[in-house]
């Protein structure tokens, strides 16, 4: 269930805590791109697929990538899944706020933006990762939170008005197609509940070094991608596009290793910064692949 309007008003009024989210919530012709370290741009030297897509399409693209997260954490961060929070102690008063130490039921917010706004049974809550532990601040909350466990629902402020959503999830799930497809399906349903006219794009999971034809990882990734391709959204096979077009998009010649990688149905080495993460060429190619698909479906 989405947050009631009254709580959104309270959260939006606290722009000093979540300024980026609040700014994004006011833009209608924008793209919000959810994902993990591949979305965040790990290995790109400052180049990310969302930033390159913004250059191509000339509309705002918001990067909601957080490294290390699996599909369930990404879904929870978007507002599509609830998080269980265990509260410890009576809390410490800080003006209108009460600060608690908490433990969530999943690793979340460990890289990048580390504050999430949401609700617990009528109370506005800000969840924060502080480097080694988590805290939660409750705003004028009359409920007894001490030493109890509650379901925390993220507000998903960024999702209020954006016209497009991109989901690049599942790389950190070890080929678990059931979990990935369930989490991404939950995100699709959640986004459509906010805006029935939203345009949704789901990207395929890519493979890297040691994950070519005949390996268990290859079979697992193909299984995930097959499941993603059946969901109620526009499916973009960026893995295929990177292999078939990634070098040409960047005007790169094909090295001997690239030839071997392509023969093994792998993303070419010259598009990667390590075994799996892309480099600036790779992220530019992803943006190109996504832009071409979006132009065809818009």
pLDDT tens column, 146-163: 999 999 988 876 666 789
Write the pLDDT tens digit of every residue in 44-81.
999 999 999 999 999 999 999 999 999 999 999 999 99
Under the banding of pLDDT at 50, 70 and 90, the label for residue 130 is confident
Bridge partners of 119, per DSSP, are: 124, 153
Determine which helix (DSSP H) or strand (DSSP E) holds 62, and give its type and residue range.
strand 61-65
Confidence of residue 132 (pLDDT cuts 50, 70, 90): confident
- List pLDDT tens digits, range 245-258: 999 999 999 999 99
Nearest to 186 by CA among 65, 76, 26: 76
Cβ pair 76, 154 in contact under 8 A: yes
Assign domain 28-79+158-297 to its CATH superfamily.
SGNH hydrolase (3.40.50.1110)
Task: Examine the pLDDT at 287 and tell me if it is beyond 80.
Answer: yes
DSSP 226: H
Collapsed DSSP state (helix, strand, coil) of residue 116: strand
Closest CA to 139 of 114, 156, 122: 122
The pTM score is 0.90
Taking CA atoms, 215 is separated from 44, 191, 203, in Å, by: 27, 35, 22
For the chain, give the mean pLDDT. Answer: 89
Provide the pLDDT for residue 98: 94
pLDDT reported for residue 12: 58
What percentage of the chain reaches a pLDDT higher than 90? 71
Residue bearing tokens 């986004």: 191
d(CA 198, CA 175): 28
């Amino acid at each position: 269930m989405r947050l009631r309007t009254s709580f959104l008003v309270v959260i939006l009024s606290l722009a000093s805590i979540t300024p980026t989210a609040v700014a994004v919530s006011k833009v209608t012709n924008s793209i919000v791109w959810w994902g993990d370290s591949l979305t965040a741009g790990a290995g790109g030297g400052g180049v990310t697929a969302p930033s390159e897509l913004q250059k191509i399409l000339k509309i705002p693209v918001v990067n909601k990538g957080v490294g290390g997260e699996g599909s369930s954490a990404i879904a929870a961060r978007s507002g599509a899944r609830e998080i269980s929070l265990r509260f410890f102690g009576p809390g410490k008063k800080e003006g209108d706020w009460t600060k608690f130490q908490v433990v969530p039921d999943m690793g979340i917010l460990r890289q990048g933006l580390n504050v999430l706004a949401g609700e617990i049974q009528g109370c506005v809550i800000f969840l924060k990762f502080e480097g080694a532990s988590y805290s939660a601040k409750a705003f004028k909350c009359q409920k007894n939170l001490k030493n109890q466990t509650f379901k925390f629902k993220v507000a998903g402020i960024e999702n209020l008005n954006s016209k497009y959503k991109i989901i690049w999830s599942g790389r950190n799930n070890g080929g678990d197609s059931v979990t990935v497809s369930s989490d991404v399906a939950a995100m699709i349903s959640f986004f459509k509940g906010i805006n029935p006219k939203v345009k949704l794009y789901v990207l395929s999971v890519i493979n890297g070094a040691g994950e070519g034809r005949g390996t268990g990882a290859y079979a697992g990734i193909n299984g995930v991608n097959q499941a993603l391709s059946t969901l109620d959204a526009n499916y973009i096979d960026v893995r295929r596009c990177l292999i078939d077009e990634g070098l040409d998009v960047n005007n790169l010649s094909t090295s001997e290793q690239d030839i071997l990688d392509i023969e093994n149905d792998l993303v070419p080495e010259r598009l990667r910064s390590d075994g799996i993460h892309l480099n600036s060429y790779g992220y530019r190619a992803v943006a190109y692949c996504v832009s071409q698909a979006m132009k065809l479906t818009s």
